[in-house]
Amino acid sequence: MKYVNSCGLSESVRCDLAPLSSCCVGGSFGLREFAQIRYDFRNRKNVSKEDAEKMGIKMKDQDEVTLESEYQKIEKIDTTNWENVRGPRPWEEGNQLYKEAEERAKKIAGRD
Amino acid sequence: MPTWGHLGLQDSASPLMEQLIFFHDHAMVVLILITTLVGYMMSTLFFNTFTNRFLLEGQTIEIVWTVLPALILIFIALPSLRLLYLLDEVNNPSVTLKTIGHQWYWSYEYSDFLQVEFDSYMIPSNELPEDGFRLLDVDNRTVLPMNTQIRVLISAADVIHSWTVPALGVKADAIPGRLNQVSFLMNRPGLFYGQCSEICGANHSFMPIVIESVSVNSFLNWISSSSEA
């Protein structure tokens, strides 16, 4: 015969299932509060216009750089007329793209 | 940084990637529990000698094995949805980087500053120094400040590419005629590597991404030297 207490719940639900599910579900919400502290008091820095100007760098205003303004710039890129090159595999020699890669590598070696 | 024989996710360099790793570990625990339970039940069934030729129905067990999977799915779904909305939270980025995918290199432009743009090609293997990373190192790294909210606007000039840095937990397709946005914050200095993640031609595997995370002062010094150059 199953034991049913005054709440109408059996012992197994009251002692096993209810604490387990409340810990698992409630714990996720409870831990969120602790995780939120990390986001509220983050060691976050800003690269501001004033900092940049102290170093002699011209920086645009935050309002000037928006998704819309950048989208207008990329709209001007011609994406329909591009040359589909049968690109060189890096191990292939004797083709133009590979020669350009070699020259770039020499520039890096010279820079280092 | 991935190494040989690397099985799991890369170490995180961003709080969001940390949360993604925690969720991955949580879901993995649930899956291992289910697999162990089902494997145990199957193996005991294999070796027992119980026989009931007149078994027709079992209402209680039917209810148990319907409700239990639903509960398990709830335990997976709640943290998943929490993280989904966390990833989409609005923040105020202080640095904007625009990256355009080409065949087969990335070009970067620092939209907040004047005339800071460059192309980033992979260093070919036979030109790589002894301590270089094969197929990952590039000639010009993308320098960004740490502990600063950064926004990356991603597009392409020819075919579809995909810009990703696993350590930061970001990936977005670079689609011609479209601008996608990702946002992240790096909480430690270092080099973070990624590779193009959308097939874009013969050299799709040879156009990597390298982010160099530095202090704000070092970043501004680099910007100053880049705009002079």
- Residues B73-94 pLDDT 10s: 999 999 999 999 999 887 889 9
Nearest by CB to residue B176, choosing from A24, A28, A79, is A79
pLDDT of residue B60: 96
pLDDT of residue B66: 97
Q: Which residues contact B99 (CB under 8 A, 6 or more apart)?
A: B106, B107, B108, B109, B142, B152, B153, B154, B155, B163, B174
Q: Look at residues B50, B174, B75, B29 and name the one whose alpha carbon lies nearest to residue A20.
A: B75
| CATH 3.40.190.10 given to domain B95-228 | no
Contact with chain B for residue A76, Cβ under 8 A: no
Contact with chain A for residue B226, Cβ under 8 A: no
- Most trustworthy range by pLDDT among A32-41, A52-61, B34-43: B34-43
Mean pLDDT of A78-85: 76
Mean pLDDT of A7-26: 81
| CATH 3.30.70.20 given to domain B15-88 | no
Number of residues that make up chain A = 112
pLDDT band at A65 (very low <50, low <70, confident <90, very high): confident
Chain B positions touching A35 (Cβ under 8 A) are: 19
pLDDT of residue A90: 60
Question: CB–CB of B204/B196 below 8 Å?
Answer: yes
Mean pLDDT of A82-97: 67
Q: Look at residues B108, B124, B126 and name the one whose alpha carbon lies nearest to residue B116.
A: B108
Torsion from C-alpha of B24, B25, B26, B29, nearest 10 degrees: 120
Mean pLDDT of A50-72: 86
CB contact under 8 A, A65 and B74: no
Mean pLDDT of A20-33: 87
Mean pLDDT score of chain A, rounded to an integer?
Answer: 78
- Within this chain, domains B15-88 and B95-228 share the same CATH topology: no
Nearest by CB to residue B112, choosing from A35, A59, A88, is A59
pLDDT of residue A36: 84
Q: Which residue has the higher pLDDT, A12 or B27?
A: B27
Mean pLDDT of A85-98: 66
pLDDT of residue A11: 80
Q: Look at residues B195, B197, B200 and name the one whose alpha carbon lies nearest to residue B159.
A: B200
pLDDT band at A46 (very low <50, low <70, confident <90, very high): confident
Number of residues that make up chain B = 229
Chain A positions touching B129 (Cβ under 8 A) are: 112
ipTM > 0.85?
Answer: no
- Give the domain ranges of chain B: 15-88, 95-228
Mean pLDDT of A96-108: 73
pLDDT band at A94 (very low <50, low <70, confident <90, very high): low
Q: Which residue has the higher pLDDT, B152 or A90?
A: B152
Spell out, as residue ranges, where chain B has pLDDT lower than 50: none
Q: How far away is chain A from the Cα of B213, in angstroms, using its nearest Cα?
A: 13
Nearest by CB to residue A45, choosing from B111, B147, B221, is B147
pLDDT of residue A87: 60
Nearest by CB to residue B96, choosing from A32, A58, A65, is A65
Q: Tell which B residues from 81 to 100 touch A, by Cβ distance under 8 Å.
A: 82, 92, 94-96, 98, 100
Mean pLDDT of A20-30: 87
**Peptide linkage before B104 cis (omega within 30 of 0):** yes
Suggest the residue from B185, B203, B217, B224 to mutate for an interface test with chain A (most A CBs closer than 10 A).
B203
Dihedral of alpha carbons B134, B135, B136, B141, sign: positive
Q: Which residues contact B136 (CB under 8 A, 6 or more apart)?
A: B122, B193, B195, B208, B210
CB contact under 8 A, A46 and B94: yes
Q: Does residue B129 sit in helix, strand or coil?
A: coil
pLDDT of residue B168: 96
Q: Tell which A residues from 11 to 40 touch B, by Cβ distance under 8 Å.
A: 21, 24-25, 28, 32, 35, 38-39
